[in-house]
Structure 1
Amino acid sequence: MATTMKSLANALLILCLLAASCEANGQGGSAPAAISPLRTAGRTDPNEKVFNVLQYGAKPGGKQDSALSFIRAWRAACNYRGTARLLIPMGTFLIGATIFQGPCLGPVPIKVQIAGTLKAVADPSMYEEDFWILFENINGLLVTGTGTVDGQGNAVWKYNDGGSRFPSPSKVKISDVRYINIRGTSASEVGGDLKCSEAVPCEKLYFSNINLMYYGPKKLPFTSTCTNAKVNYVGNQFPPPCR
């Protein structure tokens, strides 16, 4: 989590908290661009249609960039007018910069289930913009699963909610976002850095049971920072929450 990026309408990054590596499980509520990190969710709707990225050309093994296959699978799920779930099955999938674009046509929330491992392309020159995985213009998003999101190190990834437009602040409103049972690692002394728009601060952000391991220089304290963000904390928080 750190620094700023290009402002994105109704957008929320799923990046792995500095993306050295991240795992999570748990479940939270759904709201515009809400993330409910990573618990396997069984199919409770018999009418739900599952869109498996393997059926759209994604290759497990972690050697071939499957970003286009992920995008094709997402488009099919997003354009489906019934209840849809995007499934990333067991296996390791290498993906570069990926945008999951809305709005979607089906009932909310649209679900993304991560059972395998997502691994970022480690070469920073492969990213024209300052993001890895982006959900944009989606009203109602639920991310579940027991998978792993591996951003391949803090030299590549930064995390940002809300962002800011240059030269004027973003007018995009980010609210009702939940981060639950997050585990991961960070090479930066700033384990969590929320940067939201001054014009429309982030509201109703919920952090519950966050546990990040710091493996950077031991002389530096492990901290969190928040800018223009109203955050509620429940359970254990490491690094300590920003106030």
Structure 2
Amino acid sequence: MADTTRFSGRVAAITGGAAGIGLAVASRVIAEGGKVAIWDRDPAAVAKATGELGPNSLGVVLDVSDWDAVEAAAKTTAETFGGLDILVASAGITGPNTTTWAYPVKDWRKVIDINLNGLFYCNKAVVPYLLEKNYGRIVNIASIAGKEGNPNAPAYSASKAGVIGLTKSLGKELAKNKITVNCVTPAAVRTAIFEQMSQSHIDFMLSKIPMGRFGQIEEVAALVCWLASEECSFTTGGVFDVSGGRATY
């Protein structure tokens, strides 16, 4: 059950926040007393999301693979709401499903640019605002693919493995500043990102989940919101599975 005061006085920036997991997290943060900046590249989706979320939300249209745009978004968010406390980095794409040796170079670069470089830019841009307060929470959305490596998804798997490594590194760097950095590694969750995958790849992912079903957006959002809260005070550099039993380590 939601705690209507858990995020009272807190400001969260959520990338990919106009849909899917990001939007579910944004909705919960606002319902629990916080303010949210939606960072997303889809103008129509941003307008729709902020319209639904209400006056405690801000929409920022940007491409996370553009460092200048990310830096400006962090500044706009902090100036609008009087600070910045939380980053949930949820923006990502899957890329095509094919073997490593057949993988198009342009698609490899695009996936790495958004999923890994973009996430790095967002972490980098937000940290100075968290250091000002000597408090903060960063939650990066990785994937079980980053731990196990999915066949026919080399760029996605590699990018998410990079997210895990970056999370562990940054978590150690900020450990003495009351700023925690953790990541979540979901197995497949049915969102619009499925539209980017082949049916055979979707079937493969389902076959690997012992519970025999896909995860639900709300299940991931519940874990993310705990990691983004003050309650998560002695866990940093952590990797949290939401995998229906798929994860083996």
- Greater relative contact order, per chain length (Cα 8 Å cut-off, separation 6+): 1
Q: What is the TM-score normalised by the length of structure 2?
A: 0.32
Q: What is the TM-score normalised by the length of structure 1?
A: 0.33
Pick the structure with more helix per residue.
Answer: 2
Pick the structure with more strand per residue.
Answer: 1
